[in-house]
Amino acid sequence: MACHSRPTTIVLSVEKKFYIETFGCQMNAHDSEKVVGTLLAKGYSQVDTPEEAGYVFYNTCSIRDKAEQKVFNRLQSFKRTGKGKIFAVLGCVAQQEGEKIFDRAPHVSLVAGSASYTKLPEMLIQLEAGNKRVTGLSLEATEAFDTPFTRRDNPHRAYLTIIEGCDKSCSYCVVPFTRGPERSRTSASVIDEATKLADSGYTEVQLLGQNVNSYRDPSPAGWDFATLLDRVGAVPGIRRVRFTTSHPRDFVKPIIDAIDANANLCNHVHLPVQSGSSRILEGMRRLYTREQYMERISWMRGARRPIAITTDIIVGFPGETERDFEDTLELLDEVQYDSLFAFKYSARPNTGALKLEDHISEEEKTRRLAVLNERQRAIQIRRNSELIGAVEEVHVEGRHHSLGQWIGRTSQNRTLNFSGHEAEAMIGTYLPVRVTRAGPHSLVGESVL
Ligand code: 5AD
Ligand code: SF4
């Protein structure tokens, strides 16, 4: 390299700079952290805008059509001005659309799904050698993308992947196609990573997987998810363990027993129900009925600490009648969720639900979504107000400069912003805070120190 003339050196330095934008879920956010760590370790540097970068990476989501369109809009905006840059599409849209992306966006040179990221440095070398079209689309069930170079975005709460892929086949979902079959990491490598995180100052970890409940240690120790959860909570230095996401079919009582037995396991469970109608659940191929789902809820309600329960719901699944939708609204009243994410059904390529009849109009889906969100908002206002006067332990995550408040999060995963205590290095600490006000989405309080 030393013999290059000066202008070439400038070009090279731009080429070694990358910009990455991430769409979608926490799995994607964490994949991007791994990609960033891997590239930094190979001598690349990260920049804040695509304009400064030689490489522009989009780590994409295809769970709903809207998410998928976002990346094509981004790519479109660089069609003319992106000359000289290398555009890469990573993640779920890459896996789903494969080489078709080159036709749709000819200025893209790399298309790689999440199972191929270990090979990313080699793929970049191919591009640097002048190759114009590089793909990494194999979904071979190799080990989870495990890298010693993860560069985490949040200095206090760390994502930790325990299982990749999904072996369920919910009829609306692209994930089994984009992330492949389930692969669990060994318990030793999970505990090793949790220990390293604790040693480097992290006190909160979030175990990640498309279906963490079906975790099965591939090593002879053979731990199930409840055992893994308990052991991660016992790693010295770890004060909070969260996990996402759970499938009701594989959600077993020992998980609640573990939360009961170990105060480091957060009292929050995200348990996506998708619909309150057993008929629709069957069409979705969710493998449980409303009654079986409610049995899991009763385990949680019987726990020693109050467990916050959150969920995901899809409205307007093909064939969803007004009666089915009413069943979902009644389920909200029955469970009294602490929060939920609701989505309009979006038809996805390759999925079983494409073949179903009675697709619901966009207008009706929009109406149902609004009705559902309104119903839930009232529940949240009531539930959150019940906390006024209570003292909650918060993990301090940041500072709202404009409001003059600290940002905190409770074990139940509620945002509790507070004032009343000013000290150096508050961020990352745990403090008792009294709740003084409640809104539908967050709480406000005063430090009791
Ligand atoms: N349409 C709408 N929502 C979907 N989800 C998954 N697939 C679809 C789809 N095709 C929702 C589910 C899931 C969440 C992550 O996204 O509620 O739990
Ligand atoms: Fe999709 Fe169902 Fe797997 Fe969740 S469990 S990722 S909804 S197929």
Cα of 300 vs centre of ligand 2, distance in Å, is 22
What is the per-residue DSSP string for 28-59?
HHHHHHHHHHHHHHTT-EE-SSGGG-SEEEEE
* Contact status, residue 18 vs residue 39, Cβ threshold 8 Å: yes
Cα of 165 vs centre of ligand 1, distance in Å, is 15
The distance from CA 371 to its chain's CA centroid, rounded to whole angstroms, is 26
> Which atom of ligand 1 has the smallest separation from the CA of 347?
10
| Ligand found nearest the CA of 274 | 1
Beta carbon of 369 within 6 Å of any ligand 1 atom: no
Task: Give how far Cα 149 sits from Cα of 35, 193, 446, Å.
Answer: 9, 12, 39
* Token representation of residue 365: 């889906």
> Which atom of ligand 2 has the smallest separation from the CA of 167?
3
Nearest residue by C-alpha to atom 12 in ligand 1: 312
Residue 185, exposed/middle/buried by CB under 10 A (0-12, 13-18, 19+)?
Answer: buried
Beta carbon of 348 within 6 Å of any ligand 1 atom: yes
Beta carbon of 178 within 6 Å of any ligand 2 atom: no
* Contact status, residue 435 vs residue 376, Cβ threshold 8 Å: no
Beta carbon of 340 within 6 Å of any ligand 1 atom: no
Residue-level pLDDT at 144? 58
Residue-level pLDDT at 420? 87
> Which atom of ligand 2 has the smallest separation from the CA of 211?
5
Cα(163)–Cα(242) distance, integer angstroms: 14
Residue-level pLDDT at 142? 58
DSSP E strand stretches across 345-419: 391-400, 405-410, 416-419
Nearest residue by C-alpha to atom 2 in ligand 2: 170
Beta carbon of 170 within 6 Å of any ligand 2 atom: yes
Along the 449 residues of the chain, how does pLDDT read in single tens digits?
A: 333 434 443 444 556 899 999 999 999 999 999 999 999 999 999 999 999 999 999 999 999 999 999 999 999 988 878 888 999 999 999 999 999 999 999 999 999 999 888 889 999 999 989 999 999 998 875 555 667 778 888 888 999 999 999 999 999 999 999 999 999 999 999 999 999 999 999 999 999 999 999 999 999 999 999 999 999 999 999 999 999 999 999 999 999 999 999 999 999 999 999 999 999 999 999 999 999 999 999 999 999 999 999 999 999 999 999 999 999 999 999 999 999 999 999 999 999 999 999 889 999 999 999 999 999 999 999 999 999 999 999 999 999 988 889 999 999 999 999 998 777 688 999 999 999 999 999 999 999 98
Beta carbon of 211 within 6 Å of any ligand 1 atom: no
| Ligand found nearest the CA of 24 | 1
Nearest residue by C-alpha to atom 16 in ligand 1: 63
| Ligand found nearest the CA of 62 | 1
Beta carbon of 175 within 6 Å of any ligand 2 atom: yes
| Ligand found nearest the CA of 344 | 1
